[in-house]
Amino acid sequence: MKVTKAQVQANRARVVETASVLFRERGYDGVGIADLMAAAGLTHGGFYKHFASKTELLAEASSCGFAQGAAKAEGMSAVEFVKHYLSREHRDMRGEGCTMAALCADAARQPESIKTAFASGFESMLATLAQQTCEGDGQRARCIEVIAQVVGALMLSRACPDDSPFADEILDVCRAAVLTKPSLRPSE
């Protein structure tokens, strides 16, 4: 039976979305092509009909993860974003959480196409946060500082045992530190 172009596109999108979740859960090297395709409900042999290489998929899956994160953050104030980002709920949702926090260390050891996807995703996060913070000198620098602090805090918290009080303390301390800076508050 011949597969339509629409079905091919839907299958490719399903592989990218499935990969985005699995890579955030397990890291780039923790997901093999056979496991990925099985999780997407497709055969292993079909992978190379959709992608020239796993690297191509890594870049697309990273971009997909950033887009999903942006969609979740849409409509949130900067304060709401920080409260959600540095919550235990977000910490524990690796597969559905922030691509940057889940894969930043992996991306640093990947080819330029993946680093480019990360830079683009980071720029998008900056633009979203900048729209929701006070205008003025140093806004971009402040947004970079906030994103670096929340991503780092989430990564450190995830590196602790899941039920560790220290994991929660990291989130609490960093959330309080970010939220006490007046430049994060939206202008009224």
Q: Provide the number of structural domains found in the chain.
A: 1
What is the four-CA torsion angle of 79, 83, 84, 85, rounded to 10 degrees?
90
Mean pLDDT of 123-140: 79
What is residue 32's predicted lDDT score, i.e. its pLDDT?
A: 95
Determine the average pLDDT of the residues in 62-72.
93
Residue 105: give its domain's CATH number. 1.10.357.10
- pTM (2 decimals)? 0.90
What is the rounded radius of gyration, in angstroms, for the C-alpha atoms of the chain?
Answer: 18
The tens digit of pLDDT for each residue in 74-111 reads 888 889 999 999 999 999 999 999 999 999 999 999 99
Please check the confidence at residue 184 and state whether its pLDDT lies above 80: no
Q: What is the pLDDT of residue 131?
A: 79
Phi/psi zone of residue 13: left (φ > 0), alpha (ψ -120 to 50 degrees), beta?
Answer: alpha
pLDDT at 187 over 90: no
* CA proximity to 121, closest of 151, 141, 93: 151
Q: What percentage of the chain has pLDDT greater than the value 70?
A: 94
In the structure encoding, which two tokens stand for residue 94, read together? 């690796």
Residues 43 and 37 sit within 8 Å (Cβ to Cβ) = yes
Task: For residues 7-25, give the mean pLDDT.
Answer: 96
Identity at 158, one-letter amino acid code: R
For residue 65, the one-letter residue type is: G
- In whole angstroms, give the CA distance from residue 68 to residue 17: 9
- Tell me what pLDDT residue 182 has: 67
| Confidence at 188, pLDDT banded by 50, 70, 90 | very low
In which residue are the tokens 């890594």 written? 58
- Residue-range definition of the domain harbouring residue 92: 5-184
Rounded to 5 degrees, what angle do the CA atoms 72, 112, 71 make?
10
pLDDT at position 153: 98
